[in-house]
């Protein structure tokens, strides 16, 4: 476990600070960082979780510095944890309880990808994807069960349009499974006042989506995705972050069990 970038302006545990507390996983990546920054601009105190503690620290520092001169200065802390590791997830929940006493917003964004076709998908590759993309959100949702305040809260799971269109087997199955988990948790947590929804982006240009593709392969890949999108462009991290902020905010209190596609209409098309 690695804890980084404490913000000294945060009140001591047990104080009457009512600002929401958000946990965002995979927060050192482009998409997770955009989500964390958007929630911070909305007034949340954000725990940026990433498997690499140094990256989590750097992201939290960048977030705080980037919003220092705004009307909603960030309250951010970086925390190193692997969501596939149950012990580390429990330690994260315990630390959040001790520091804040609550969780109001949980965004399960951490993910790994496998582009292998079925013929090249081994059991180790399959298990590694499922451990992060599906077991991780389950473990974290379970670990924070005691931390929801009496008024409830928000869970937002980041899935993918591939759950509709199909794609590489391990990645696609993990995201389709996360849609199923979203719906199951919506039923179970609803009586607690906790809504559970998913955001399904189409392709977002980030280092994650580039993977190991060459420049030529990536250019062709982005061109195919752009061509299949009625709005004629790719999604941006900010597009996704705005959708997450809506579902995690006060205006989505009667929405649960839903999948919000941030695809520019690409959810209507088959896989490219």
Mean pLDDT across 87-98? 98
- Is the pLDDT higher at 98 or at 223? 98
| Beta carbons of 26 and 50 less than 8 angstroms apart | yes
Instruction: Please state, in angstroms and rounded to a whole number, the distance separating the CA atoms of residues 213 and 16.
Output: 50
Q: Residue 152: left (phi > 0), alpha (psi -120 to 50), or beta?
A: left
- Per DSSP, the three-state class of 106 is strand
CA distance 75 to 3: 15
Q: What confidence tier does 70 reach under pLDDT thresholds 50, 70, 90?
A: low
What is the rounded CA–CA span in Å between residue 263 and residue 245? 16
**Residue given tokens 């309880």 in the structure block:** 97
The C-alpha atoms of residue 213 and residue 217 are separated, in whole angstroms, by: 6
pLDDT of residue 207: 74
Compute the 3-state secondary structure of the chain and give helix, strand, coil in percent, each to the nearest 5: 50, 15, 35
- pLDDT, one tens digit per residue, over 93-125 is 999 999 999 999 999 999 998 877 767 778 989
What is the distance, to the nearest Å, from the Cα of residue 46 to the centroid of all Cα atoms in its chain?
A: 12
Q: Which of 79, 65, 69, 103 is nearest to 28 (CA)?
A: 79
pTM, to two decimals: 0.90
The pLDDT, as a whole number, for residue 205 is 83
Q: Which of 79, 100, 171, 218 is catalytic?
A: 171
The three-state secondary structure class of 22 is: strand
Q: What is the pLDDT of residues 149-163, one digit of tens each?
A: 999 999 999 999 999
Q: Is 171 an annotated catalytic residue?
A: yes
Contacts of residues 57-60 at CB distance under 8 Å and 24 or more positions apart, as own/partner, are 57/2, 57/4, 57/5, 58/28, 59/27, 59/28, 59/32, 59/33, 60/4, 60/5
The residue among 13 and 19 whose pLDDT is bigger is 19
Tens digits of residue pLDDT in 17-63: 889 999 999 999 999 999 999 999 999 999 999 999 999 999 999 99
């Amino acid at each position: 476990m690695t804890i980084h970038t404490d913000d000294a302006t945060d009140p001591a545990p047990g104080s009457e600070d009512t600002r929401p507390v958000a946990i965002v996983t995979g927060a050192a990546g482009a998409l997770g960082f955009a989500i964390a920054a958007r929630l911070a601009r909305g007034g949340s105190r954000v725990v940026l979780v990433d498997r690499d503690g140094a990256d989590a620290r750097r992201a939290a520092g960048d977030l705080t510095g980037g919003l220092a001169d705004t009307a909603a200065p960030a309250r951010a802390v970086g925390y190193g944890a692997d969501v596939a590791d149950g012990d580390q997830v429990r330690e994260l929940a315990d630390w959040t309880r001790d520091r804040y006493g609550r969780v109001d917003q949980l965004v399960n964004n951490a993910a790994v990808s496998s582009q292998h076709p079925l013929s090249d998908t081994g059991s180790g590759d399959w298990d590694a994807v499922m451990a992060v993309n599906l077991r991780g959100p389950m473990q974290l949702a379970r670990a924070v069960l005691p931390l929801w305040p009496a008024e409830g809260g928000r869970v937002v799971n980041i899935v993918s349009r591939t759950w509709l269109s199909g794609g590489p087997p391990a990645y696609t199955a993990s995201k389709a499974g996360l849609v199923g988990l979203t719906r199951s948790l919506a039923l179970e947590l609803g009586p607690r006042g906790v809504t559970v929804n998913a955001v399904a982006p189409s392709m977002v240009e980030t280092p994650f989506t580039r993977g190991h593709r060459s420049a030529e392969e990536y250019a062709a890949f982005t061109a195919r995705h752009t061509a299949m999108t009625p709005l004629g462009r790719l999604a941006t991290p900010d597009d996704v972050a705005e959708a997450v902020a809506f579902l995690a905010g006060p205006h989505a209190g009667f929405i649960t069990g839903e999948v919000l596609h941030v695809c520019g209409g690409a959810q209507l098309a088959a896989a490219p």
